[in-house]
Amino acid sequence: MSFLLVQALSGLATAATLFLVSSGLTIVFGVTRIVNFAHGSFYMVGAYAGWSLIERFGGTPAGFWGSVAAAALAMGVLGAAMEIGLLRRLYRSPELFQLLGTFGVVLVVQDLTAWAWGPEDLLGRRAPGLKGSIDILDQPFPLYDLVLIGLGPLVLGLLWLLFNRTRWGTLVRAATQDREMTSALGVDPTRLFTGVLFLGCALAGLGGALQVPREAVTLQMDVAIVVEAFVVVVVGGMGSLTGAFLASLLIGQLQAFGILVFPQITLVIVFLFMAVVLVLRPHGLLGRAEEVPPTAPATVTVPLSAGRHAGVWALALLAVMAAAPLVAGDYALILLTEVVILALFAASLHLLIGLGGLVSFGHAAWFGMGAYGSALLVKHLDAPMPLALAGAPVLAGLGALVAGWFCVRRSGLYFAMLTLAFAQIVWSIAFQWYAVTGGDNGILGVWPSAWAAGKAAYYWLTLALCGGALWLLRRAAFAPFGYALRAGRDSGLRAESVGIDVRRFQWMAFVLAGTAAGLAGGLYAFAKGSVFPTLLAVPQSVDALVMVLMGGIQTIAGPLAGAAVFHLLESEVMSMTDWWRLVLGLIIIALVLVFPKGIVGFLSGFRRRA
Amino acid sequence: MSELPMSELVVRDLQRSFGGVQAVGGVSFTLRSGDLLALIGPNGAGKSTCFNLLNGQLRPDSGSVRLDGTELVGLPPRRIWALGVGRTFQITATFASMTVAENVQMVLLSRARRLFGLWRPAAAQFREPALALLDRVGMAAQADRPCGVLAYGDVKRVELAMALASEPAVLLMDEPTAGMAPAERLALMALTAELVRERGLAVLFTEHDMDAVFGHATRVLVLDRGRLIAEGSPEQVRADPRVQSVYLGGEA
> How many other CB atoms are found less than 10 A from the CB of residue A93?
18
The torsion angles phi and psi of B72, rounded to 5 degrees, stand at -100, -20
Q: A135 in helix, strand or coil?
A: strand
- Residue B65 located in a structural domain: yes
Q: What is the pLDDT of residue A297?
A: 40
- Cβ A541 vs Cβ A364: under 8 Å: yes
CATH of the domain at B224: 3.40.50.300
The per-residue pLDDT of chain B, averaged, comes to 89
- Cβ A474 vs Cβ A556: under 8 Å: yes
Q: What is the pLDDT of residue B165?
A: 94
Q: What is the pLDDT of residue A183?
A: 67
- Residue B148 located in a structural domain: no
Residue A305 forms contact with B (CB below 8 Å)? no
- State the nearest Cα–Cα gap between B163 and chain A, in angstroms: 8
- Residue B154 located in a structural domain: no
Per-residue b or e along B86-95, where b marks 16 or more CB atoms closer than 10 Å to that residue's CB? bbbbeebbbb
Residue A290 forms contact with B (CB below 8 Å)? no
Q: What is the pLDDT of residue A480?
A: 96
d(CA B38, CA B175): 10
Residue B235 CA neighbour count, 13 Å, CB half: 0
Residue A278 CA neighbour count, 13 Å, CB half: 31
A303/B146 CB distance under 8 A: yes
Q: How far is CA A536 from the centre of its chain?
A: 11
Answer left, alpha or beta for residue B20, where phi above 0 means left and psi between -120 and 50 means alpha.
left
List, in order, residues 6 or more apart from A305 with CB less than 8 Å away: none
d(CA A231, CA A26): 11
d(CA A526, CA A530): 7
d(CA B178, CA B189): 12
- Residue B161 located in a structural domain: no
Angle at A323 between CA A321 and CA A328, to 5 degrees: 90
Counting every residue, how long is chain B?
252
**Closest alpha carbon within chain A to B90:** A494
Collect all residues of chain B within an 8 Å Cβ-Cβ radius of residue A301. Answer: 96-97, 146-149
For chain B, how many helices (H) and strands (E)? 9, 10
Residue B122 forms contact with A (CB below 8 Å)? yes
- Cβ A89 vs Cβ A593: under 8 Å: yes
Which residue(s) pair with B227 in the sheet? B224
- State the nearest Cα–Cα gap between B78 and chain A, in angstroms: 4
DSSP A252-272: HHHHHHHHHH-GGGHHHHHHH
A496/B149 CB distance under 8 A: no
The torsion angles phi and psi of A410, rounded to 5 degrees, stand at -125, 160
Sheet architecture: strand order including B227-232 = B85-88, B170-174, B202-206, B36-40, B219-224, B227-232
Question: DSSP alpha helices (H): ranges in A33-178?
Answer: 39-57, 61-85, 95-117, 143-165, 167-177
d(CA B159, CA B100): 10
DSSP A386-401: HHHHHHHHHHHHHHHH
Residue B186 forms contact with A (CB below 8 Å)? no
Q: A321 in helix, strand or coil?
A: helix
Question: What's the one-letter identity of residue B59?
Answer: R
- Cβ B35 vs Cβ B218: under 8 Å: yes
pTM of the full predicted structure? Answer: 0.88
ipTM here: 0.90
Answer left, alpha or beta for residue A411, where phi above 0 means left and psi between -120 and 50 means alpha.
beta
Instruction: Give the range of the structural domain holding residue B41, as residue numbers without chain letter.
Output: 1-84+204-252
A498/B99 CB distance under 8 A: no
Please tell me the total count of domains within chain B: 1
- Cβ A568 vs Cβ A554: under 8 Å: no
A580-594 vs A538-551: helix crossing angle, rounded to 10: 40
Residue B19 forms contact with A (CB below 8 Å)? no
- Terminal alpha carbon distance of chain A: 77
d(CA A228, CA A235): 11
Q: What is the pLDDT of residue A502?
A: 94
pLDDT in tens, chain B (252 residues): 456 678 999 999 999 998 888 899 999 999 999 999 999 988 888 898 999 999 899 999 999 999 999 999 999 999 999 999 998 887 778 898 899 999 999 999 999 999 998 999 999 999 999 999 999 999 999 999 988 888 888 998 999 999 999 999 999 998 888 888 888 888 889 999 999 999 999 999 998 888 888 888 999 999 998 999 999 999 999 888 888 888 765 444
- Residue B122 located in a structural domain: no
List, in order, residues 6 or more apart from B195 with CB less than 8 Å away: B136, B164, B201, B203
- Strands B202-206 and B21-32, by their bridges, are unpaired
Which one, of A458, A425, A455, A431, lies nearest residue A443 by Cα?
Answer: A431
d(CA A419, CA A513): 13
- Residue B211 located in a structural domain: yes
**Closest alpha carbon within chain A to B78:** A499
Mean pLDDT by 10 residues, chain A (610 residues): 85 93 93 90 97 93 95 97 92 84 94 94 89 82 91 94 91 77 71 93 96 92 89 89 94 88 76 83 76 44 62 88 92 95 96 92 96 96 95 97 91 85 89 88 93 94 96 93 94 90 96 98 97 93 90 79 90 82 90 75 62
- Cβ B133 vs Cβ B104: under 8 Å: yes
A478/B93 CB distance under 8 A: no
Residue B111 forms contact with A (CB below 8 Å)? yes
Angle at A317 between CA A314 and CA A322, to 5 degrees: 125
Residue A311 forms contact with B (CB below 8 Å)? no
Angle at B174 between CA B168 and CA B176, to 5 degrees: 90
List, in order, residues 6 or more apart from B11 with CB less than 8 Å away: B27, B28, B29, B30, B31, B54, B63, B64, B65
- Residue B247 located in a structural domain: yes
Window 524-553 of A: residues touching B by CB (8 A cutoff) are none
Q: What is the pLDDT of residue A291?
A: 40
d(CA A295, CA A413): 8
Q: What is the pLDDT of residue A600?
A: 67
- Residue B123 located in a structural domain: no
Which one, of A316, A15, A336, lies nearest residue A149 by Cα?
Answer: A15
- Cβ B172 vs Cβ B51: under 8 Å: yes
